[in-house]
Amino acid sequence: MRGVRWITIQTADHGLIHVLCPDWCTSRHDHRPGYRSDILHTGPDHIAVFRGQDLALACLVQAPFADTAERRGIWVSSDDVGIELDPAGLDELAAVYVEYAAHLLQLSRQLTALRGEGQ
Ligand SMILES: [Zn+2]
């Protein structure tokens, strides 16, 4: 966390603007000038890694000048499902992972038993 800070961004449609960046934002905001509505605050990546492979990634996002009120709010972007989630959606996704983890453990026990039978 960097703390709340003012940043200055060059935009194609509103010129140079000053934006209050929330304390959870870790974006450097050093991308090429674009539209003001494209400004995106992003939090640190939360990545599930298995043996060096990224399985899932999620982070806080907010587009403070977006056209819709939903995108002006704070969301979690989940790369594994490719959509932005509100708290209820994030809970729903987490429940799927918990259930999937239980299936993987069950599959592991089945595999252990099958390998035992084959020996
Ligand atoms: Zn920011």
**DSSP H helices in 25-86:** 69-72
Tens of pLDDT along 62-85? Answer: 999 999 888 888 989 887 777 888
pLDDT digits (tens, 9 = 90+) for 9-30: 999 999 999 999 999 999 999 8
CA neighbor of 57 nearest in space, from 66, 70, 44, 48: 48
Residue 101 host element (H or E): helix 87-117
Same domain, 25 and 55: yes
pLDDT confidence of 37, banded at 50, 70, 90? Answer: very high
Secondary structure E strands in the chain: 5-11, 15-21, 41-42, 46-50, 53-62, 74-78, 83-85
The tally of domains found in the chain comes to 2
Residue 8 CB contacts under 8 Å (≥ 6 apart), including other chains: 16, 17, 18, 19
**Distance from residue 34's CA to the centre of ligand 1 (Å):** 15
CA 72 to ligand 1 centroid distance, Å: 13
- Six-digit token string for 13: 């449609």
Cα(2) to centroid(ligand 1), Å: 10
Q: Which residues place a Cβ less than 5 A from the ion ligand 1?
A: 21, 25, 27, 41
Same domain, 62 and 74: yes
80 and 98 inside one domain: no
* Ligand 1 geometric centre to CA of 117 (Å): 57
What does the pLDDT look like over 48-60, one tens digit per residue?
999 999 888 999 9
Q: 78 forms bridges with which residues in the sheet?
A: 58, 83
Tell whether 106 and 81 lie within a shared domain. no
CA–centroid distance, 1 to ligand 1, in Å, is 11
Query: Are 46 and 61 members of one domain?
Result: yes
